Amino acid sequence: MVKKNQTLGEFIIENQQAFPYSSGELSRLIRSLRLAAKVVNHEVNKAGLVDILGLHGDTNIQGEDQQKLDVYANETFIQTLINREIVCGIASEENDDFITISGKNNDNKNKYVVLMDPLDGSSNIDVNVSVGTIFSIYRRVTPIGTPVTKEDFLQPGNQQVAAGYIIYGTSTMLVYTTGCGVNGFTLNPALGSWYLSHPDMKFPENGSIYSMNEGNYVHFPEGVKKYIKYCQEEKEDRPYTSRYIGSMVSDIHRNMIKGGIFIYPKSSKANNGKLRLLYECNPMAFIVEQAGGKATDGFNRIMDIQPKELHERAPFFCGSKNMVNKAEEFMRKYS
Ligand code: P6P
């Protein structure tokens, strides 16, 4: 039974009680991400007013200019997790390597690692378009109390314990799953509280929105080109509507509410596409699947891919189950 206006804190406590034998570590971890999200939201919302726009002057491992807000968001999430000593390691799009958190006496007994894209879509900040934070949580696979290794981060997405995103849009929402469905909470900035606004989110099985950067059409695989033409022909429930914000969290969040498919495929310019498997594709895939959608690389389930590198990329087809199935038909037929 959905409790109207339940706060995120009350929701976490209620769900914690559903796992009486758990340590409560995951609940504390979600709470710390909730705090960091409020801090970042405050800065994102006033980005236009203070001198944190424009480039930070550095570039991240992706070779992308680091916007000041990128760096600020990254440092905020990392420091919050370190201060609360609730994880044993962190990996971020903004950091070349993972961060080991050994604890005061070098005896960190925490069992979770967090992987994140602290501010996805940051190139949209200067034009006032919504951006997002994406996080993914795993249990470590190496012995507790020892420093984390790359093995703890290079786990397939099907091992995720929790995943979520914060969307800094017309309103700020935190949407997450711990494997028991997907729930969305909206921040009331006046009170600093998050309220259960989207209980038990379900991805519409069908949809009529397709979302991809068609500017790359000439570089797309034949199967994607054929699927785009399928979306555009006047037949049955088509033509579909094209919508592309250029901020993955926003594009997928819209589709989760209205139905649709988001595609960032490989191309002749990028052999594995652009999106990062570990901290973009996998967390979004976990959420989408938990809401009844589908997420693949055009052929196989994204969350079954065994990662080899921290920052590896993957082609991404994600959204309403029937739309992803149809896109895969074209990918198989024309591959
Ligand atoms: P393009 C933002 O930089 C991002 O990583 C995703 O959020 C978004 O979907 C994609 O890149 C946009 O890429 O090549 O269309 O500008």
Q: For ligand 1, is residue 274 a contact (CB within 6 Å)?
A: yes
Q: What residue owns the CA closest to ligand 1's atom 2?
A: 121
**Residues 6 or more apart from 198 whose CB is under 8 A from it?**
173, 175, 183, 184, 185, 186, 257
Does 119 appear as a known binding residue? yes
Both 234 and 180 in one domain: the answer is: no
Q: How many CB atoms lie within 10 A of CB 160?
A: 23
* pLDDT surpasses 60 at 50: no
Give the domain extent around 68.
8-198
Lowest mean pLDDT of 96-110, 143-157, 214-228, 262-276, name the range: 96-110
Q: Is residue 203 part of a domain?
A: no
Does 205 appear as a known binding residue? no
Both 126 and 189 in one domain: the answer is: yes
What CATH number is given to the structural domain containing 277?
Answer: 3.40.190.80
ipTM exceeding 0.90, yes/no: yes
Does 123 appear as a known binding residue? yes
DSSP, collapsed to helix, strand or coil, labels residue 136 as: strand
* Average pLDDT estimate for 37-47: 87
Per-residue model confidence as pLDDT tens digits over 71-91: 999 999 999 999 988 999 999
* pLDDT surpasses 60 at 52: no
Rounded distance from Cα 192 to ligand 1 centre (Å)? 30
Mutate to test the pocket of ligand 1, among 266, 274, 313 (most ligand atoms within 8 A of CB): 274
Rounded distance from Cα 247 to ligand 1 centre (Å)? 6
Both 14 and 93 in one domain: the answer is: yes
pLDDT at 105: 78
* Average pLDDT estimate for 145-159: 97
Contact (Cβ atoms closer than 8 angstroms) between residue 64 and residue 87:
no
* Average pLDDT estimate for 172-200: 95
DSSP, collapsed to helix, strand or coil, labels residue 51 as: coil
Mutate to test the pocket of ligand 1, among 64, 213, 313 (most ligand atoms within 8 A of CB): 213
Q: What residue owns the CA closest to ligand 1's atom 16?
A: 246
Both 101 and 241 in one domain: the answer is: no
- Among residues 162, 178, 198, the one where a domain terminates is 198
Mutate to test the pocket of ligand 1, among 247, 252, 253, 277 (most ligand atoms within 8 A of CB): 247
Q: What residue owns the CA closest to ligand 1's atom 15?
A: 213
* pLDDT surpasses 70 at 205: yes
For 171-191, give the secondary structure using H, E and C. CEEEEEECCCCEEEEEEECCC
Count of domains observed in the chain = 2
Q: Is residue 1 part of a domain?
A: no
Does 213 appear as a known binding residue? yes
- Among residues 198, 225, 246, the one where a domain terminates is 198
Q: How confident is the model at residue 55 (pLDDT cuts 50, 70, 90)?
A: low
Peptide bond into 239 cis (omega under 30): yes
Both 74 and 111 in one domain: the answer is: yes
* pLDDT surpasses 80 at 65: no
Both 136 and 46 in one domain: the answer is: yes
Both 104 and 240 in one domain: the answer is: no
Both 323 and 296 in one domain: the answer is: yes
Tell me the average pLDDT of the chain.
92
Both 178 and 270 in one domain: the answer is: no
**112-120 and 99-100 as β-strands: parallel, antiparallel, unpaired?**
unpaired
